[in-house]
Structure 1
Amino acid sequence: MSKLISELLPVIGHTVVIYLFLMIALRVAGRHQIGQLSVIDLVVLILLGSAVETAMVNGDTSLAAGIACSGTLLILNRLFTWLIQRVRPLNRELNGDPITLISDGRFVEENLRRAGLTHEDVLQALRARGLADVSEARFAVMEVNGSITVIPRHAKVHRSSRTTKEAT
């Protein structure tokens, strides 16, 4: 039994390192790639899985190594989800903030560059919501999940006079 555990420890260690590397690498890649997968993005994600599989299991293709690797990934995912929900700065660092892409009918060029989007990407989101031109949008915001929310210029904006206190 201890021989099995000692053989699986490298699998668990490699899995942890690769998980952390991919978390950081995908965060650096940006929300656009994750939130709106193109065919190329999907191929890259599939190939990433294949490319790191051998390294995670340390060349061991046994059932035990596969279970150790899968179990480690599930535990790490649950741990990071728990941490992100409870540690606000970590949540903000990993998930980011919404990014304003259009403000008062004009593109916010700096934010488009930061989000890795083109005018055409945003215009596609506008057309999907029935707007023909950027001037018809009051705001367009890239949400933390990569989706684009559009507020038409003619939409009524409801403001609350009540302030809410953030939980600490």
Structure 2
Amino acid sequence: MPKLISELLPVIEHTVVIYLFLMIALRIAGRHQIGQLSVIDLVVLILLGSAVETAMVNGDTSLAAGLVCSATLLLLNRLAAWIVHRIAPLNREINGDPITLVNQGRFVEENLRRVGLTHEDILQALRARGIADVSEAKYAIMEVNGSITVIPRHAKVHRSSRTPKETT
């Protein structure tokens, strides 16, 4: 049994390193909801999984290595969620802040570039909410989960303590 543990320890180590790397890399790459992923985003995510699989299991394709790798990922995910939930500055760093994409009927170009969205992306989100033109929107805000909240011009807005960033 100790031999099996010593053989599977590198699987745990590699899985931890790759998990942390992917969390940071995907945070830097930007945020999208799963439903908002383009075909390219989806292909990249699938290929990432395939690309890191062999490194995580240290070339060991045994059932034990796969189970240890899976268990390590699940435990890391649970631990990361628990830590991020309890440490507000870390939560903000990992999940980011809401970002204003439309302010008083005008695109916030700098923020659109920063999150990698085009005018057409925003216009599509506006149309989905029954707004035909950007000038009819008071705000369009990318939430921390990647969804876009649209507030029509005629709506009253109550600011929370966590207000969207106007610019960087």
- Cα drift, residue 154 of structure 1: 2.0
TM-aligned CA distance change 1:137 to 1:38, over 3 Å? same
Report the RMSD for the aligned CA atoms in angstroms.
1.7
Distance 2:24 2:45 in 1: 14
Distance 1:35 1:101 in 2: 19
Q: Is the 8 A contact 2:33 2:145 kept in 1?
A: no
Percent identity of paired positions between Structure 1 and Structure 2: 81
Q: Is the 8 A contact 1:32 1:115 kept in 2?
A: no
Is structure 2 residue 93 aligned with structure 1 residue 116?
A: no
- How many residues matched? 161
Match of 1:32 in 2: 32
CA offset digits 1:60-105 (Å, max 9, x no partner): 0111101110010001000000000001111000100000011111
Match of 1:135 in 2: 135
Q: Is the 8 A contact 2:27 2:94 kept in 1?
A: yes
Q: Which runs of 4+ in 1 moved over 6 A?
A: none
What letter is aligned with 1:100? T
Q: Is the 8 A contact 1:35 1:147 kept in 2?
A: no
Is structure 2 residue 153 aligned with structure 1 residue 153?
A: yes
- Deviation larger for 36-45 or 94-103: 36-45
TM-aligned CA distance change 1:59 to 1:159, over 3 Å? closer
Q: Is the 8 A contact 1:139 1:152 kept in 2?
A: yes
Match of 1:54 in 2: 54
Q: What are the ranges of 5 or more consecutive residues in structure 1 without an aligned counterpart? A: none
Q: Is the 8 A contact 2:33 2:147 kept in 1?
A: no
Q: Secondary structure at the match of 1:149?
A: strand
